Amino acid sequence: MPRPIFATVSRHAFSHNLDVVRRRLDAARPDGGRARIWAVIKANAYGHGIERAVAGFARADGLAMLDLSEAVRCREAGWTGPILLLEGIFEAADLDAVGRYGLTTAVHHADQLALLRQARLPRAVDVFLKLNSGMNRLGFSPDAYAGAHAGLAALQAAGRLGQVGHMTHFSTADTAEGIEAQLEVFRRATAGLPGPVSLCNSAASLRYPEVAGDWARPGIALYGATPFADESAESLGLVPAMALKSRLIGTQELRAGDAVGYGGMYRAEGPMRVGVVACGYADGYPRHAPTGTPVVVDGVRTRLLGRVSMDMLAVDLGPVPRAQAGAPVTLWGDEGLSVDDVATAAGTIGYELLCAVAPRVPMHFEE
């Protein structure tokens, strides 16, 4: 028998979450029209698998990612709609694939503009020019934006580019600071320039749907996790797309003073039963999750004890006194235990845990 750890990915959750985001965006549109959605599937679809995401997001308007190889996998999986490379190309050779596979590419740096100028493209390429509106990660500065746009417009006039759109990325859509300052910078830099606009990640799509423009770019919400520290996925109507599950493979009876795991980080205060779960940091479970991190055993919420090992972790069987080896365990994504609950306990965010599920964990795709 293989180790009992596995993950399930729900196709229904993908399409449900896409609908939740779409309804928010559409309800806020002043023109009664429909927002288009780039489903962001970077990082192997936030750990869920590119091919599963292509199937689950069949009703998205486009797919967005960073990696050319992931874009090619989308085409090979049968996706014929738009594909956006969020960081654009990294070298001249990438433009061959952009042309061959009909990809849309971000242009965030003068070098990328130069490569587009020099390239012999087999067809007109759609691009999104990226503005640095204040996050100071990628994008042209507001001062350089009009010049970069003029460069792209010249290529467009020569028939070498198709659509030239505008994009930026918000750094504080999930906090009290909001998007106002960056939005103002974006509006000023793009005033009077034609072309579609793409602004909103999940947090902005859900909190500021009225500014979404032509194309929203939600990621995390589509996987059923929350982009917010103060609002749960469940309260947003989102459903977890991934559940991480395993079983107890052993139990121990402790006396007062007995320690659990490496470093003896947890010590029993009195007699207690401990369960050993086949899940460790080599499966992607966070090693820095402390004692108290929630775990569900046999349908009952209990807690992690001591340090997470490479292949195992220990749990308190106090709330589940009858649990034996073989009892089912949910690490996250089912039975009321969200990946965000685990992430919060471990001092990180759901994004990181989902992306980190290890290749050795078998993943099953379900309806």
Ligand X SMILES: *Cc1c(COP(=O)(O)O)cnc(C)c1O
- Rounded to a whole number of angstroms, the distance between the first and last alpha carbons of the chain is 25
- By C-beta, is 182 or 201 nearer to ligand X? 201
Q: Minimum distance from CB of 109 to ligand X (Å)?
A: 14
Instruction: Report the nearest approach of ligand X to the CB of residue 169 (Å).
Output: 5
Answer for the pair 338, 225: CB distance below 8 angstroms, yes or no. yes
Would you tell me the crossing angle of helices 142-157 and 180-190 to the nearest 10 degrees? 40
Residue in 301, 304, 300 with CA at minimum distance from that of residue 290: 304
| Residue bearing tokens 């869920």 | 48
| For ligand X, the closer CB: 121 or 135 | 135
Q: How far is the CB of 146 from ligand X (least distance, A)?
A: 22
In whole angstroms, the minimum distance from the beta carbon of 365 to ligand X comes to 21
Question: Which residues are designated catalytic?
Answer: 42, 262
Rounded to an integer, what distance in angstroms lies between the CA atom of residue 367 and that of residue 360? 22
Contact between 281 and 358 (Cβ < 8 Å): no
Beta bridge partners of 9: 242, 365
Q: What is the dihedral of CA 101, 106, 110, 112, to 10 degrees?
A: -20
Spell out where 66-209 has E strands: 83-85, 104-107, 125-130, 161-167, 197-198
Q: Does 137 appear as a known binding residue?
A: yes
Comparison of 84 and 125: residue with beta carbon closer to ligand X: 84
* Whole-number Cα distances in Å, 270 to 34, 255, 306: 60, 6, 16
Residue nearest to ligand X (CB): 219
When the beta carbons of 355 and 358 are compared against ligand X, the nearer one is 355
CB of 318 to ligand X, least distance (A): 37
Question: Which tokens in the block code for residue 329?
Answer: 């365990």
Binding site for ligand X (CB under 6 A): 40, 42, 86, 169, 201-203, 217-220, 227
Instruction: Give the nearer residue to ligand X in terms of CB position, either 40 or 233.
Output: 40
Residue list, annotated binding site for substrate: 137, 310
